[in-house]
Amino acid sequence: MKRLRLRGRIRRPTEDEVQEIADSLYFFPSDEEVAEYTDVIDRSLALFDQLDELPLPHRPIKHRDRDPGYRPSREEDPLNLYITKCYIKGAPRGKLAGKRVGLKDNISLAGVPLSNGSRLAEGYVPDIDAAVVDRLLDAGATIVGKLNMDDFAFAGTGETSAFGPPRNPHNPEHSAGGSSGGSGAAVAAGEVDLALGVDEGGSGRGPAAWCGVVSIKPTHGLVPTYGLTYMDHTLDFMCPIARTVGEVALALEVLAGDDSRDPQWVRGPIKVDRYTRALDKDVAGIKIGIIKEAFSLAVSEPDVDQAVRDAVKSLGAQGVSSQEVSLPMFRESRAIWTALTAHSVAAMVESDGEGYWRGGWCNIGWQETFGRARRIRGHDFPPLLKMVAIEAKYMMQNYFSTYYSKAQNLRMAFRDEVDRLLKEYDVLALPTIPMKPIKLLTEPLGLREMGSRIASISRNTLPFNLTGHPAISVPCGPQGSMPIGLQLVGRHWQESTLFRLSQAVERQDR
């Protein structure tokens, strides 16, 4: 076949390749059709070639003094919190001036290696800053490290990290949570003033609960996710983590707001508030609904349930009323989340990490790194990720992706159910995680056991990734015990109410 264009990077497919692809799509063309398709594809790919001749838009890096960092020794980092220590100073003034910030190592920081908790990304150095990095540095923060996390964020205990697990500062034999375990633990250990986690099923709130600090999963779309290594653009959330409610509220003021690069599609305007103004407001009159389905689970620890109930009850002295309520679809949320994410993870893998049907800008450098790793070392991907992608491909091929659609429709019904409850109550309450921090494994578990271990941890957090409601985790429970988290869930865009109530919990816990 004569190639119609002499320049360009794209190799044209042979007729055998076209036949193979067509057969995999169940088209089964004749030889004559294959020859015709091959010829027309050549003409079409000439247009693709033109893209290589066009300058791609690229925002210049604002804060250019970059230390690429280093992997600290065990003596320097005994809790294994960092993957890379670095030093990038932001603006001389701003709301976060003087604050030391750590980033989960799946957030792009130009000039500093990004691992995604995996050896598969070895050698990848982003040439972009995530949107949240721009905002942190513009607000005067100093970024001091990329923090440890589960391999490709595909677990909930930190134990799958290619660099070894981050350890809980309250007891190093115990998990700091996951997948943002390094972020929660670095805050609790005083290594950073503020950390960013990422939460697709509880990965930001969980480490906060187990490390005894505060984190909020904002309303879907409030904080831009551009520059993240994504899992699902409808489930990805950037989460500030700090020691106090006030510090998290201040961080969210900096991070919140629209960004043209954001891949998330959000209906209606992004509603931003001055969250710190809510902190000292009276909480009298707030009504809390305690979700009964989130207690007394098979994996629940009675002292965790009791600590959460006691924390809510004690707010009565400040004029807060509470009542147990039922959220029936809460029981089904794990099934909905699992079916939805199986298909979306497979699509993310097949798109080599950027996803389809999205808004905003793409990170082509990460996409190339992901694509090469998948084709050359796909066997090294995390076992759970591989299993989910295989499962989803089976469901796509044999059940036409209808189970994704069923899950999506049920997701919307569940969101409506939560919204109806939040018309009657201002806030919903439940344990962040049904149990206290678990001991780190000394020997690897099989895939089935690891999957069950992770699922039990995220039972109470993943429902609100589905619905997009804001959810905050704030410490509660008796002094001297391993940390316990109280999770408060609010109406969309009503983070200020959560901060107001969380501040009241924090005051009474001192």
Asked if residue 57 belongs to a domain, the reply is no
**Phi and psi at residue 56, to the nearest 5°:** -80, 140
Asked if residue 55 belongs to a domain, the reply is no
Task: Give the mean model confidence (pLDDT) for residues 266-289.
Answer: 95
28 with 139, same domain: the answer is: no
The pLDDT value recorded for residue 252 is 98
Question: With 70 as the cut, is the pLDDT of residue 483 above it?
Answer: yes
**423 has catalytic annotation:** no
The pLDDT value recorded for residue 7 is 59
Select which of 108, 115, 175, 203 is catalytic.
203
Question: With 90 as the cut, is the pLDDT of residue 484 above it?
Answer: yes
Asked if residue 476 belongs to a domain, the reply is yes
Select which of 108, 179, 180, 322 is catalytic.
179
Distance of CA 434 to the CA centre of its chain: 20
Higher pLDDT, 4 or 21: 21
173 with 317, same domain: the answer is: yes
Structural domain count of the chain: 2
Asked if residue 9 belongs to a domain, the reply is no
Domain span holding position 103: 67-509
23 with 122, same domain: the answer is: no
**104 has catalytic annotation:** yes
Q: How far apart (Å, rounded) are the C-alpha atoms in residues 393 and 504?
A: 47
171 with 27, same domain: the answer is: no
Mapped to the 3 state alphabet, what secondary structure does 3-31 carry?
CCCCCCCCCCCCHHHHHHHHHHCCCCCCH
Secondary structure (3-state) at 430 = strand
209 with 95, same domain: the answer is: yes
**108 has catalytic annotation:** no
Residue corresponding to tokens 């707010």 = 315
39 with 72, same domain: the answer is: no
Asked if residue 233 belongs to a domain, the reply is yes
Domain at 215, CATH number:
3.90.1300.10
**Range with the poorest average pLDDT among 263-267, 361-365, 426-430, 431-435:** 263-267
Task: Give the mean model confidence (pLDDT) for residues 108-130.
Answer: 97
Using one digit for the tens of pLDDT, what is the confidence trace for 397-412?
Answer: 999 999 999 999 999 9
pLDDT band at 480 (very low <50, low <70, confident <90, very high): confident
Q: Give the sign of the dihedral formed by CA 96, CA 86, CA 159, CA 347.
A: positive
Question: With 70 as the cut, is the pLDDT of residue 327 above it?
Answer: yes
Query: Per-residue b/e over 272-311, b at no fewer than 16 CB within 10 Å?
Result: bbebbebbeeebeebebbbbebbbebeebeeebbebbbeb
23 with 121, same domain: the answer is: no
Question: With 60 as the cut, is the pLDDT of residue 3 above it?
Answer: no
Question: With 70 as the cut, is the pLDDT of residue 510 above it?
Answer: no
Q: CB–CB of 249/275 below 8 Å?
A: yes
pLDDT band at 356 (very low <50, low <70, confident <90, very high): confident
Higher pLDDT, 359 or 3: 359
Q: What is the CA radius of gyration of the chain?
A: 23
pTM strictly above 0.75: yes
The pLDDT value recorded for residue 444 is 81
The pLDDT value recorded for residue 451 is 85
Mean residue pLDDT across the chain: 95
Residue 238 structure tokens: 């950037």
**What percentage of the chain reaches a pLDDT higher than 70?**
98
460 with 389, same domain: the answer is: yes
Using one digit for the tens of pLDDT, what is the confidence trace for 27-62?
Answer: 999 999 999 999 999 999 989 998 988 998 888 999
Q: How far apart (Å, rounded) are the C-alpha atoms in residues 196 and 242?
A: 9
Query: Per-residue b/e over 147-177, b at no fewer than 16 CB within 10 Å?
Result: bbbbbbbbbbbbbbbbbebbbbbbeeebbbb
Asked if residue 324 belongs to a domain, the reply is yes
28 with 77, same domain: the answer is: no
Q: How far is CA 287 from CA 53, 64, 488, in A?
A: 60, 48, 12
The pLDDT value recorded for residue 506 is 96
pLDDT band at 450 (very low <50, low <70, confident <90, very high): confident
From the list 215, 224, 213, the residue with the least C-alpha distance to 254 is 224
Q: How far apart (Å, rounded) are the C-alpha atoms in residues 349 and 343?
A: 10
Using one digit for the tens of pLDDT, what is the confidence trace for 223-237?
Answer: 999 999 999 999 999
93 with 191, same domain: the answer is: yes
The pLDDT value recorded for residue 6 is 55
Distance of CA 454 to the CA centre of its chain: 15
Question: With 60 as the cut, is the pLDDT of residue 1 above it?
Answer: no
Question: With 70 as the cut, is the pLDDT of residue 100 above it?
Answer: yes
Question: With 90 as the cut, is the pLDDT of residue 303 above it?
Answer: yes
Select which of 104, 146, 217, 436 is catalytic.
104
155 with 41, same domain: the answer is: no
Asked if residue 56 belongs to a domain, the reply is no
21 with 119, same domain: the answer is: no
Asked if residue 342 belongs to a domain, the reply is yes
Question: With 80 as the cut, is the pLDDT of residue 71 above it?
Answer: yes
Q: How far apart (Å, rounded) are the C-alpha atoms in residues 447 and 443?
A: 13
The pLDDT value recorded for residue 59 is 85
Q: How far apart (Å, rounded) are the C-alpha atoms in residues 510 and 505?
A: 9
Using one digit for the tens of pLDDT, what is the confidence trace for 11-33?
Answer: 999 999 999 999 998 999 999 99
Q: How far apart (Å, rounded) are the C-alpha atoms in residues 488 and 192?
A: 25
